[in-house]
Amino acid sequence: MHILSSHSIQRVRAEKERDRQTRLAAERQRKEDEEAKKRAEDEAKKKKVLSNMGAHFGGFLAKVEQRRGKRQTGREIKKMTLAERRKPLAVENLREDAKELWEWIYELESEKFDLTEKMKRQKYEINVLLNRIQHAQKFKKGHGKGKVGGRWK
């Protein structure tokens, strides 16, 4: 009899555990569905806001400029300049825009690297030439300034 009761207790525990697992799975599924729905709504909202901002940003800047009058701070001048240069944001082809910007940055970085290396090489050449001048002046008969005077650094 003792065996039956422990067996039935184990069966009841197993049933309760199955019920709990089923409930947890249903709860998890419901939360995932809610999160997916919320993400979709947020994405739609973001797209709408971005497209509206791109379309109306210039008008906003014009209103701000009218309110302030002739005086403009550096920040406002920067906003105006960027608004004039910036293309309107098209949400559809962001990948192409990102690739274009990446290529532009890559080109600028490579140009910066080339110019930095050129500057290093020119500094080295200047130092070599200065050393040659000093060396030549040491062995000159008249220890004056010579033809080259002043500081070259």
pLDDT of residue 80: 82
Q: Does pLDDT of 145 surpass 80?
A: no
Q: Is residue 80 part of a domain?
A: no
pLDDT digits (tens, 9 = 90+) for 128-142: 999 999 999 998 866
User: Does 46 share its domain with 2?
Assistant: yes
Average pLDDT, the chain: 83
* CA–CA distances in Å: residue 40 to residues 31, 72, 92, 138: 14, 41, 16, 80
Q: Encoding tokens for residue 16?
A: 């309760």
63 has pLDDT over 90 = no
Q: How far apart are CA 38 and CA 32, in angstroms?
A: 10
Total tally of structural domains belonging to the chain: 2
68 within 8 A of 76, measured Cβ to Cβ: yes
Q: Which domain holds residue 103?
A: 94-138
Q: What is the DSSP letter of 88?
A: P
* Residue 86, domain member (yes or no): no
Of how many residues is the chain composed?
153
In a domain, 114, yes or no: yes
Q: pLDDT tens for residues 112-127?
A: 999 999 999 999 999 9
